[in-house]
Structure 1
């Protein structure tokens, strides 16, 4: 594949609105896609899968694409929920607490905001995560 498709600007704007509203977040271009980091830790990563690339994401999501996915981290207790084992979610193997979700026209942006915020709180220093208002405490 000669050129990798970018994250659609409308989706990037929605993700930025969520991620950049959290304390001390930096948006970065990743090896593919865009990631948001806190204290040098990646808590959200948006990637376009197309024609089976990138292969690790295509395999984890079970699709050669085209599709846009977002990966994030969750605490172990939350990972046990059965919903994270079925579409639109998927479980990559590269970290025990990583989850992915397909983003499309049917995505629930309130849920995505909650998942991103939870991911931030999993990886952020405690002093920063304490500043975040979370619906589930």
Structure 2
């Protein structure tokens, strides 16, 4: 079975800076990679795949899930969870766009009182 690469430390730091700036969002190790959570809900999961590509998954509104699925690479719909989508990360990743996606994911996963404290992008 192929091994999964660890996500680059710089990408973990960049995604972590986005997520941990949100109220009560924290980082923890996952079975592979790292994830960020608010209370018990996962906001994002950054990990390497058996194909040696690095991905980040997050939550999205139902209509956005369909849009991401139709956009195709670098976006994808995860095979678990009805509102889980992801992005293949590489040297050309738009980190400002990712900030918006992760902030939206946080607002979907956080309790309403915490989500209300966050200015949503766009």
TM-score (norm 2): 0.91
- The answer for the alignment partner of 1:79 in structure 2 is 65
Gap runs ≥5 in structure 1? 53-64
Partners of 1:69 and 1:42 lie apart in 2 by 15
Partners of 1:84 and 1:3 lie apart in 2 by 26
Cα pair distance change 1:90/1:2, threshold 3 Å? closer
- The answer for the alignment partner of 2:6 in structure 1 is 6
Cα pair distance change 1:2/1:117, threshold 3 Å? same
- Equivalent of 1:97 in 68, 73, 83: 83
Query: Is residue 2:36 matched to residue 1:36?
Result: yes
- C-alpha displacement of 1:26: 1.3
Query: Is residue 2:116 matched to residue 1:130?
Result: yes
- C-alpha displacement of 1:132: 0.5
Gap runs ≥5 in structure 2? none
Cα pair distance change 1:70/1:130, threshold 3 Å? same
Query: Is residue 2:62 matched to residue 1:66?
Result: no
- C-alpha displacement of 1:78: 2.3
Moved over 4 A (4+): 1-4
C-alpha contact (below 8 Å) 2:26/2:36 kept by paired residues? yes
- Between stretches 123-132 and 2-11, larger displacement belongs to 2-11
- C-alpha displacement of 1:92: 1.3
TM-score (norm 1): 0.82
Residues matched between the structures, number = 121
Output the aligned Cα RMSD. 1.6
Residue aligned with 2:117, SS? coil
